[in-house]
Amino acid sequence: MTINDFLAWLLGSGGSVMAASWILERIVWFQDKSADFKEWFFFAVASAIALAAYAGVTYIPQETIDMLAPYFTVVSGIFVTIVVGQAFHKLDKRVE
């Protein structure tokens, strides 16, 4: 997945919603809030992520994106490996 693919994913197909959910589920402060607050805050965060992705697609020059591409590849590869590793360990629990 390239940076452009990632930004497009955040803009459509619920990418910003999934990203906001993944981020907010890990914040203890957020978990302690009321359901009504969480709903509106979640909406605001998902919207901010989508708007930031739109701004990136619209205003970041392609030369800058090309310069950042190798770093994005490294970080996204590490992220995917960690997530897959966590899923593997959850599924592969052996009872001894």
How much is the pLDDT for 60? 96
Q: What is the pTM of this model?
A: 0.84
How much is the pLDDT for 35? 95
**Mean pLDDT by groups of 10 residues along the chain of 96 residues:** 94 92 95 96 97 96 96 96 89 67
Region of 13 (left: φ > 0; alpha: ψ -120 to 50; beta: rest) is left
8-34: b (≥16 Cβ within 10 Å) or e: ebbbeeebbbebbeeebeeeeeeeeee
